Structure 1
Amino acid sequence: MKKYDCIVIGGGPAGLSATLTLGRARRKIALFDNGTNRNRVTQESHGFLTRDGIKPQQFKNIAIKELESYPSVSVLNETVMGVNKDDQHDLFLVHTSNNQSYITEKILLATGIQEEFSLTQIRQYYGKSLFSCPYCDGWELRDKPLAIIAENDEHINHLTKLVFNWSKDLIVFTNGHQLSNKVQNDFKSKKIKVYTAVIKNLHGNHGYLESVELETGENILRSGGFVVPSFYRPNKFAKQLKCQVDENGGMITDDAGRTTESGVYIAGETEKAGPSSLMIAAADGNKAAFSINMDITLDRF
């Protein structure tokens, strides 16, 4: 059974960044990735210096190519099914879908999060014409007739005001939920129309939105927009390892990637259970790698 200094689970920007830093520190690292990263549906990634507009898979390919320069790093295209701690030897056992097991001293969880939508039709357009982050995709939708699709008063208020920076042609769809008078008045002053009727369907071609159909029979033309998903962690590794979370579902850490469980580290969206930019996630991975390497150094010196 192969033994590593650290196993990194998740090949998004956080996991890749951490693996690069640890490889450069001459640590024996295994990076596990199964290609289910959240941004795989996105056509372009934005806001990462020197890589603005890059396709997510191209970003990952470049990073993996860079890792090949470090002989102590292994990139394994396997799905991790479970992680257990061997308290007697202070090690972790990682089990994969192809019935392989690996041993490691430290483990970094960088598996990210996934979206859930109240409207199943959103998935057909998500990443092409409907997005969740204006900072990531607002520029491409600037000045277009956009839809804001959300059901929570606070979320609608926040997202609409933010997107207004990129386009003044906004229509809010609450899918059957009512807005407070204050929010409605704020929107009215900016000539932002609100439809509270239930959404019957979304219409478009090849992922590009054309209109929003309501149960009232109205069909409102829109060419893109922003939505508010809910997010969840796609696996139970943190729970299996008994890592503690706060009242909001975020992982409790020391702000340097260390969780409440010795030897377990976390980085990127996995930590906050909320969305993050490529650059911030990569920085989180780099920071966690510093902690991992220093802890290994102190353990062995």
Structure 2
Amino acid sequence: MLYDCAVIGGGPAGLNASLILGRGRQQVILFDDDTPRNAVTQESHNFISRDGVHPAEFKKASYEDLNKYPTISVQRNHVVDIVPTASYFQIQTEKGQQYEAQRIILTTGLKDILPEIEGMHQFYGTSLFGCPYCDGWELKDLPLVYIAAYPHAFNSIKMVSNWSKDIVVCTNGKETISPQEKAILSQKNIQVIEDEILRLQGEGGQLKSIQFKNGNELHRQAGFISYKLQQAAPFAGRLDLESNGMGGIKIDPYGRTSRKGVYAAGDNAGGLPQQIVAAAEGSKAAISVLSDHVAETF
């Protein structure tokens, strides 16, 4: 069967794109390998009518919506390759299956690359977080640490100060905060510790202290971290898609990429890391698919 569109990725962008396409009478297949970026998240926030919901509950409700439409097929499968042909795209899965689609929407998202610090994964998602917009409210007025292990953390530290004024910045021995930035932080009574971290300590996912290699210890109840991002899937390179210069896929305002028939939405196209934004961008990309389809067939 030749599908009208294949959506690669089952996050909010892919789910909403599939809904729009299915309701648009397109034969759409959604590939979801169930490896979400927010797998460690206990509650998702900032999505009106869904604030505080567990990501698994969000996905369950989303699939209940998709299952209403016979035009939508779902494959719980990992896509390993997308091969363009003269008239369609061939999708190959980890299980050795092959599917064909006239158009592709990539909603494969990004991966967080966390600092290599002992104990990091024990606390990430429970008392250490990456996004102050997502989790700042829950940590308001607590004594926080900001682990600035990667560059370009200064603006994030400024944002965290919106929720708590009791912040200590730890660079883990890296030169991630410039002298000018340190001077500004000092004026705001934000201490910067540049010693290398030995381990994070606590129990039950609750951070209690940061132990440094020089023997010093800092007591903190929670915090935020800087992290690096990389594409969660290799398809941008394999399809020779133009980059936006910041590690994402370059798209026009409606989700079209530099290759005809390929669209992108959500984090992998440089969108804000918010569920509601990703869902909206998935909607825009799907509407572009429908618009292009009608333009060709009317």
Relative to structure 1, is the Cα distance of residues 248 and 39 closer, same or farther in structure 2, using a 3 angstrom cutoff? same
Query: Aligned to 2:99, which of 97, 102, 123?
Result: 102
Whether the 8 Å CA contact 2:145–2:167 is kept in 1: the answer is yes
Q: State the shift of 1:275 in Å.
A: 5.2
Q: Tell me the equivalent position of 1:71.
A: 70
Cα deviation per residue 1:270-297 (whole Å; 9 max; x = unaligned)? 112x651001101100000010011111
Aligned residues: 296
Query: Aligned to 2:286, which of 278, 285, 289?
Result: 289
Q: How does 1:123-202 map to 2 (within 5 A)?
A: 123-152=121-150, 154-155=152-153, 157-178=154-175, 179-202=177-200
Any idea what SS the aligned residue of 2:199 has? strand
Q: How does 1:1-301 map to 2 (within 5 A)?
A: 2-87=1-86, 90-120=87-117, 121-152=119-150, 154-155=152-153, 157-178=154-175, 179-272=177-270, 276-301=273-298
Q: State the shift of 1:136 in Å.
A: 0.3
Any idea what SS the aligned residue of 1:242 has? coil
Any idea what SS the aligned residue of 2:236 has? helix
Whether the 8 Å CA contact 2:127–2:206 is kept in 1: the answer is yes
Whether the 8 Å CA contact 2:230–2:247 is kept in 1: the answer is no
Cα deviation per residue 1:168-200 (whole Å; 9 max; x = unaligned)? 111110111343332222222222111100011
Structure 1 distance, partners of 2:192, 2:151, is 12
Equivalent position amino acid for 2:206 in 1: Y
Any idea what SS the aligned residue of 1:276 has? coil
Structure 2 distance, partners of 1:124, 1:264, is 38
Q: State the shift of 1:246 in Å.
A: 3.2
Structure 2 distance, partners of 1:10, 1:270, is 11
Unaligned runs of 5+ in 1: none
Whether the 8 Å CA contact 2:27–2:72 is kept in 1: the answer is yes
Whether the 8 Å CA contact 2:81–2:93 is kept in 1: the answer is yes
Q: State the shift of 1:153 in Å.
A: 5.5
Whether the 8 Å CA contact 1:18–1:289 is kept in 2: the answer is yes
Q: Which runs of 4+ in 1 moved over 6 A?
A: none
Equivalent position amino acid for 1:151 in 2: A
Any idea what SS the aligned residue of 1:254 has? coil
Unaligned runs of 5+ in 2: none
Any idea what SS the aligned residue of 1:265 has? strand
Any idea what SS the aligned residue of 2:82 has? strand
Question: TM-score if structure 2 supplies the norm length?
Answer: 0.96
Any idea what SS the aligned residue of 1:41 has? coil
Percent identity, aligned pairs only, is 41
Structure 1 distance, partners of 2:110, 2:3, is 25
Whether the 8 Å CA contact 2:22–2:72 is kept in 1: the answer is yes
Q: State the superposition RMSD in angstroms.
A: 1.3
Q: State the shift of 1:133 in Å.
A: 0.7
Whether the 8 Å CA contact 1:153–1:180 is kept in 2: the answer is no
